[in-house]
Structure 1
Amino acid sequence: MNRKDVTALSKPTYYLWQTDFVSQDAFQKEKEKYTRMGFRVVAFLDGQPDTNIHDGIKALIKNHIKETNWQ
């Protein structure tokens, strides 16, 4: 791991749902705004923004583990 990787991991995370924006341009401007403020921005392309983000992340990890046959 190099210094740049450690810096990226220490940034706070901000989550954006692309479906909340009327255009790709509006979404990109909002993403850039938070990036300039020092956030690591995670963008979701679909799904319901009022869904608990932790449930979605847990499901993603479980699916990944199942696909890679990790036990």
Structure 2
Amino acid sequence: MNKPTYRLWKTDFHTEEEFIQTKEKYMDLGFRVVTYLDGNSQKDIHNGIKALIQNHMNAD
């Protein structure tokens, strides 16, 4: 069974402690937590992933 993914942007938190508490909360709820260190949390991450894959495929 796959766990649902919850995405966190580290820049959304004021302290490391606040970030860790939030991450652990979602992990305890059964989520797989993915953390992004920078970028705009308001943008659709799927568009960024698609662009990354497209750039990789065009590199050949």
Fold shared by both chains (TM-score > 0.5): yes
More helix by share: 1
Provide the alpha-carbon RMSD of the alignment. Answer: 1.5
TM-score of the two chains, using structure 1 as the length reference: 0.72
**Residue identity in the other structure for 1:39:** F
- Structure 2, unaligned runs of 5 or more: none
Question: For 1:38-58, what per-residue CA distance to the aligned partner results, in whole angstroms no more than 9, with x for missing partners?
Answer: 000111000000001111111
TM-score of the two chains, using structure 2 as the length reference: 0.84
Superposition pairs of residues 1-71 of structure 1, within 5 angstroms:
7=1, 10-66=2-58, 69=60
Question: Whose radius of gyration is greater, 1 or 2?
Answer: 1
- Structure 1, unaligned runs of 5 or more: 1-6
Runs of 4+ in 1 over 3 A off after TM superposition: 63-67
